[in-house]
Amino acid sequence: MNQRTNTGPALHIDKVVKSYGPVRALDGVSFDVKGGEFVALLGPNGAGKSTLFQLLSGLFVPDSGRIAVMGHDMSRDPVPALAELGIVFQQPTLDLELTVTANLMFHAGLHGMSRDEAQARIGDELGRVGLGDRAHDKAGILSGGNRRRVELVRALMHQPRVLLMDEPTVGLDPASRGELLKLLLGMRAERNVAVLWATHLCDEVPDADRVIVLHRGKVLADTTPAALVAAAEAATIEAAFLAMTGGNRGGG
């Protein structure tokens, strides 16, 4: 199957189970994300979000169930599956002693991009996120919000079809959080990239196409933000979320 002409969902998760000893971190999780769709994965501390992202990024394998990226089974065919993923991890991963360009060039090399292609793409992508004039600055002197933008550029440089954002606003001020979310909402449609945004913050959910509520390893809801509020007969997304999860809104 040609990875660029897949007609199914960009990301397919089917009955995924993952346990750590007696603890079932994921208990039959299933959902799809289509190209160009922005899906918020909302869950409190211990919900299973981090475990799911570890499986999606290939760090671990599920006990059972199936994960496919652009039609490529993550277990049977991991190389093409991972090639279609871009990931921004919860913990910062830039080398702060290197320049922005050096950080991005290293990533480009891992994906087999030529130096000329990488340099052209770096200039274009940094311009898109408003950092065209920071290419030669060391990553260590950038603000937290701008470092996240560089990590976003890095995740998109090889033109993936699925973008995983693992609690990407942790440690950012409210203005930077809002700017990053706005940037992603614009990019998903322009690039037709599927975005899965994990968060425990209800104010990051209203503009999502869908919200999936994950709690104790199970999907409690998979619907639009408005429908989530209506189904819970709540006034806000936060009220609906707290009602569904027993008032736990911690991160993780």
The CATH number of whichever domain residue 57 belongs to comes to 3.40.50.300
Does the pLDDT of residue 111 top 60, yes or no? yes
Query: What's the number of domains the chain is made of?
Result: 2
Using CA atoms, how far apart are residues 82 and 3, in angstroms rounded to an integer? 11
Same-domain status, 107 and 183: no
Poorest-pLDDT segment among 3-17, 63-77, 191-205: 3-17
The CATH number of whichever domain residue 127 belongs to comes to 1.20.1580.10
Mean pLDDT throughout 169-191?
88
* SS3 readout for the chain: CCCCCCCCCCEEEEEEEEEECCEEEEEEEEEEECCCCEEEEECCCCCCHHHHHHHHCCCCCCCEEEEEECCEECCCCHHHHHHCEEEECCCCCCCCCCEHHHHHHHHHHHCCCCHHHHHHHHHHHHHHCCCHHHCCCEHHHCCHHHHHHHHHHHHHCCCCCEEEEECCCCCCCHHHHHHHHHHHHHHHHHHCCEEEEEECCHHHCCCCCEEEEEECCEEEEEECHHHHHHHCCCCCHHHHHHHHHCCCCCCC
pTM for this prediction: 0.91
Assess contact for 45 and 200: CB atoms under 8 A. Answer: yes
Same-domain status, 128 and 202: no
Using CA atoms, how far apart are residues 36 and 186, in angstroms rounded to an integer? 10
Tens-digit pLDDT profile for residues 32-64: 999 999 999 999 988 999 999 999 999 999 999
Same-domain status, 165 and 66: yes
Using CA atoms, how far apart are residues 120 and 124, in angstroms rounded to an integer? 6
Does the pLDDT of residue 134 top 80, yes or no? yes
Assess contact for 181 and 169: CB atoms under 8 A. Answer: yes
Same-domain status, 39 and 77: yes
Does the pLDDT of residue 5 top 70, yes or no? no
Which residues, including other chains, have CB under 8 Å from residue 231's CB and lie 6 or more apart?
Answer: 221, 223, 240
Q: What is the pLDDT of residue 7?
A: 72
Same-domain status, 125 and 149: yes
Same-domain status, 179 and 245: yes
- Domain of residue 223, residue span: 1-6+30-84+160-252
Closest C-alpha among 176, 178, 131 to residue 153:
131
Q: What is the pLDDT of residue 252?
A: 54
Same-domain status, 78 and 110: no
Q: What is the pLDDT of residue 247?
A: 67
Residue 18 lies in a domain: no
Poorest-pLDDT segment among 14-28, 29-43, 169-183, 223-237: 169-183
Q: What is the pLDDT of residue 1?
A: 35
Mean pLDDT throughout 194-217?
95
Q: What is the pLDDT of residue 248?
A: 57
Does the pLDDT of residue 142 top 70, yes or no? yes
Same-domain status, 154 and 165: no
Q: What is the pLDDT of residue 24?
A: 94
Same-domain status, 169 and 78: yes
Does the pLDDT of residue 198 top 50, yes or no? yes
